Amino acid sequence: MDEYYIIAGLGNPGRKYDGSRHNVGFDVIDELVDRFRISGPVRFGKSMTGKGVIGGRKVILMKPLTYMNLSGEAVQEIVSYYKVDPADHLIVISDDIDLPVGHLRIRKKGSAGGHNGLKNIIQHLGMSEFTRIRVGVGGKPDPGADLANHVLGHFTGEDKTVIEEACRKAAEAVECILEQGPDRAMNLYNTAKQKKKKDSAGPADGGGDEAVAERKRGQGAAGSEGLSDSAGDAKKSEEICPL
């Protein structure tokens, strides 16, 4: 166990965003905290963090406190401080409106796919070669619905049960990546492709639809107490946006 692995779950700080579609990255971090008894939380610059061991690897779990559109500031801060290579030692967990609810897609590199959190991380790191786990939260209920309301909204009914299971699977996928590598995790946890339906949320796996995702999202869109930000810690300004 030498270098730390950075596990970043994306979301928005503040209790009003807890449990929202845009905060599933935070929810996966909370699952990891509980499952592996991660220490913390500790404030580190622009993040809440915790340290521990997963799959025999030293890890730092983090929740950016910057709001979604500035996630790269927090990730870059920790990556630089611990001098890790993002290509090998960074895993980012985010929501994806272009995957059906509960579906997972693991990739070792790629574009932001319209997600402002991933976009900002790529911008600050100057590279897109890092492992990411996307958790499907489903598309808008109808084409005319407001995207912000959708992603900042909360799961209900069966979707709530499905997303809770998806967060557990995503946590298992993190452990698999650390123990056996991302290729093995992709084989085990990527949800099989489904035939695309009209006005559906999009494909569940594969990398050919990133451009479609970019157009659909326009602007990217938003935990439990595992690494809580205490609701009031994050800076607020007109430059900060939960989308």
Catalytic residues: 22
Instruction: Give the amino acid at 188.
Output: L
Q: Is it true that the peptide bond before 41 is cis, omega within 30 degrees of 0?
A: yes
**What is the SS3 string spanning the chain?**
CCCCEEEEECCCCCHHHCCEHHHHHHHHHHHHHHHHCCCCCEEECCEEEEEEEECCEEEEEEEECCCHHHHHHHHHHHHHHHCCCHHHHEEEEEEECCCCCCCEEEECCCCCCCCHHHHHHHHHHCCCCCEEEEEECCCCCCCCCCHHHHHCCECCHHHHHHHHHHHHHHHHHHHHHHHHCHHHHHHHHCCCCCCCCCCCCCCCCCCCCHHHHHHHHCCCCCCCCCCCCCCCCCCCCCCCCCC
